[in-house]
Every structure is written in C-alpha cells, then in structure tokens.
C-alpha cells in the first residue's frame, strides 16, 4: 500500500508542476500539507483506514490539479508582464508609513499588557505552554495582538509596489517592523506566528517582484519544516528554575533529539487514528462548522453552544480525563465523520473542500483578469487599491486548501474572518482616509 501511495503522490506532484509552474499555487500547498503532516505514513505501518483516507486526499488533489490549470491558464504570463511594469511614484509615503507604525502601537501595546498580566516575561514564557488555559478570558487582548502580522503584510506590499523618495530609510524601518512582528510571533506560542510571516512575505516577493525557482524554494521548505518541528517541541519543553531562569529545552535534551521527537509528521494521522480505532456515534450534524460564528457568543449567554471539532474529538479520545488545556485538530475527514458519520461525512467534507478550492483559485483568476484588462495600456490605468486588496486576499487564502487537511474548520474560519476584519480596518485608514497619492508611469 505504501508503494502505491508513494507512486501516486509522485505522479500528482509531477503533474501539478507540469500543468502550472507557479510553485506557490494553492494545489502546491495542498500537496506540501499532505507530505508534511502525513509523512509518518511512509515511515511506520498504519491501519488500513489511514491509507484509504490518504488515497482520498490524493485523488482529490489530482482532480484539483486540472481545475487549477484550467482556471489559471494565463495567470503566470500576465503576472510576469506585470512584474516588468514601471512602478508608480508614491507622493505621500510619510503619511502612509507613519500611519502603519501608529496602527502597530495597538498590537504592541496588547502584547506588553498581556506580559504584565502574567507577572513578567519569565512567567509569561512559561504560560505559553498551557496558553489555552493560562490565557483563558484574554481573547479580547490576544485578538488585538494578532493584528501585527497583517500590518506587516500591508507594509511590505506598499513598500514594493511603489517608488518614492528616501526608500532606503523606509526599508530600514520595515526591517525594524519585521523584527517586532517576529518577536510578537514568538511570544504568541504559535509556530505559525513566526514561520507564516516569512512565508507570506516570500509569496509577496514571488508575485510582485520576481518568480522564485525550485532551487531556492526547496531549501526554504526544508528550513520551514525543521523550524515548525523545532518551535513546536521547544514550546512544549519550556521550564523555569531558580538557577537558570527560563530554559527552552529539557536539561538533558539535544537539538537532534528535539527534532527527532517531533509530532509534525503525524499531525494529520492522529485524528484519523482516533476516529477509526473506536466507533464514534455522537454525530454533530454540521454544528462544528457553525462554531466560527457561535464562538463569538459568550458561554455565559449561551451555555450550551456547540463545541468545536477539536473539542469534540479530544473529549472522545480522553473520555473522563478531558481537561480542556489543549485539543487535537481533527482535519477535514475526521471532522466530516464527527458531523455526518463514517460514510456520508467524508463525502460532505470533500464537497466542502471542493467549494473552498473553487473560491480560492477564483481569487487568482480575478486578479489575472484584471491585469489582462489593463495589459494593452501597459498597466498605466491600474488602480493600486484593487491590486493591494487582491494580493492580500490571494496571500491569506493561498494555504487554506492545504490547511483544511489537518486543521479544524473553526480555526480556519476564525482566522480568515479575523484577517479580513483587520484588513478592512487598515483599508479604511490607509486606502480611504489617507489614500495612496501616486502617479502611474
């Protein structure tokens, strides 16, 4: 079975690259997720149901390859011409970038306030290990802190879209802003808080400046994988003692041991084992998909509001030992089973994934059509408000299809909604109130 899966995966990856050479297209992220979070399939024996589930993921991905190729037939060619355009001149850069730093005071202040509530930096670092419990009731602060990566993303898009005076100084300011963003990402306790900042900015560089080649991206992918594994294990090894203060790795642990014990390679397999090793019967009939909205309602108002897929599957696994300090992430197939059973659940889950895939790939097609419309005038009539909004939406949706294979719908839905609300806030200030005053060349 492993040999069949390996051959099928190789054919899928080869076909995906042959049909669309864009290494950052949604289907590439889909297969990267299948390789990374299910890699233990190729290392250790699994139950048959895990193999069959993985084959379903691959079969869907194979169909997705051709959908993407059909919808994005001219995307790479028109974007390549867009990269070669003369950049417009921005006439009010001081106002724009000053506004960006002023908005940044909100997440920076939220992070400092959160540290003070925990009793200082050392106690805060320790609280990161059990942040679900330790930070309970502080969501209103955390959500403002999470504004920082969105601001940094917009900063970078504006920086590279325009020419303006004293650009070297602004680049230096961006580097300072990036360091602050990465620091807040580290203090969030989430691997994505750090690594996604690198990844998202790399995507912007790829789409707006220069298309990156496999020779660069393969080493970056390896770095990304090792970084994700290392940060996850280090976070779980945090401890404090009187002599040494905060220690990031266990006293007797080596870096190689930390990486060797990583859970990244089994992240997608764990929920499949949970639902297939025991019979789950407490079907939720779609309620876990609604928690993106219902989670905004406090339990003091609605005590019996639906649990997320992660809570449901963790309670099922832990039984009476459930403490609520951390939850498993169900992924697409397992969450489908939690809602609609072992037969109907995966079917509905893949129909949902197909709908999301069409929406995500559609963002690429809309950008390509807009650029194609302005191609004859050498992009002189481009509205850069539309370009910035389109690139931002493309970037934040890009990984959604792959993430759905391992994440829960609540987490993805909440993050997307949060990012869109944050962007709307920045859009009102930067693009509407201050306005980008530029001249096309």
- Is the pLDDT score of 78 beyond 70? yes
CA-based torsion, 63, 69, 71, 76: positive or negative:
positive
CA-CA distance, 103 to 139, in Å (whole number)? 19
Q: Which of 3-12, 343-352, 409-418 has the lowest mean pLDDT?
A: 409-418
Separation of alpha carbons 406 and 335, rounded Å: 10
Q: Which of residues 201 and 136 earns the better pLDDT score?
A: 201
Average the pLDDT over 20-46 and give the result.
91
Task: In whole angstroms, give the CA distance from residue 153 to residue 391.
Answer: 10
Q: What is the pLDDT of residue 304?
A: 80
Lowest mean pLDDT among 82-96, 234-248, 356-370: 234-248
Per-residue confidence (pLDDT) for residue 155, from 0 to 100: 96
Q: Is 319 left (phi over 0), alpha (psi -120 to 50) or beta?
A: left
Residue with tokens 């481009």: 382
Tens of pLDDT, residues 385-434: 999 999 999 999 988 999 999 988 988 988 898 899 999 999 999 999 99
């Amino acid at each position: 079975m492993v040999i069949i899966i390996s051959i099928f995966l190789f054919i899928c990856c080869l076909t995906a690259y042959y049909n669309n050479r864009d290494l950052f297209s949604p289907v590439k992220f889909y297969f990267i997720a299948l390789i990374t979070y299910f890699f233990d399939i190729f290392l250790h024996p699994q139950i048959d149901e895990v193999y069959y589930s993985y084959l379903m993921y691959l079969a869907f991905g194979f169909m997705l390859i051709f959908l993407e190729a059909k919808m994005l037939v001219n995307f790479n060619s028109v974007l390549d011409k867009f990269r070669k355009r003369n950049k417009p001149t921005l006439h009010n850069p001081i106002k724009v970038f000053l506004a960006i730093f002023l908005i940044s005071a909100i997440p920076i202040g939220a992070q400092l306030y959160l540290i003070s509530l925990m009793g200082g930096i050392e106690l805060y670092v320790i609280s990161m290990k059990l942040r679900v419990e330790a930070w309970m009731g502080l969501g209103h602060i955390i959500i403002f802190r999470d504004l920082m990566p969105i601001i940094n993303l917009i900063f970078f898009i504006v920086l590279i879209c325009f020419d303006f005076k004293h650009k070297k100084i602004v680049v230096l300011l961006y580097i300072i802003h990036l360091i602050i963003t990465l620091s807040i990402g580290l203090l969030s306790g989430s691997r994505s808080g750090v690594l996604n900042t690198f990844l998202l900015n790399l995507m912007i560089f790829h789409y707006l400046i220069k298309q990156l080649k496999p020779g660069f991206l393969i080493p970056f992918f390896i770095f990304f994988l090792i970084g994700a594994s290392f940060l996850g294990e280090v976070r779980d090894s945090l401890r404090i003692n009187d002599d040494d203060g905060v220690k990031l790795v266990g006293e007797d642990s080596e870096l190689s041991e930390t990486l060797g014990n990583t859970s990244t390679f089994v992240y997608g397999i764990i929920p499949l084992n949970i639902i297939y090793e025991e019979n789950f019967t407490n079907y939720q009939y779609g309620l876990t998909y609604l928690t993106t909205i219902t989670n905004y309602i406090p339990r003091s108002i609605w005590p019996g509001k639906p649990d997320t897929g992660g809570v449901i599957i963790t309670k099922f696994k832990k039984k009476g030992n459930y403490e609520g300090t951390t939850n498993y992430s169900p992924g697409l197939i397992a969450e489908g089973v939690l809602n609609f059973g072992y037969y109907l659940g995966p079917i509905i889950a893949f129909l949902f994934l197909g709908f999301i895939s069409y929406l995500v790939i559609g963002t690429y097609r809309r950008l390509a059509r807009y650029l194609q419309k302005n191609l004859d005038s050498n992009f002189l009539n481009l509205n850069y408000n539309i370009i910035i909004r389109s690139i931002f939406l493309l970037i934040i949706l890009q990984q959604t299809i792959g993430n759905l294979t391992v994440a829960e719908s609540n987490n993805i839905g909440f993050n997307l909604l949060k990012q869109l609300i944050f962007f709307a806030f920045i859009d009102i200030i930067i693009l509407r109130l201050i306005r980008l005053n530029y001249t096309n060349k």
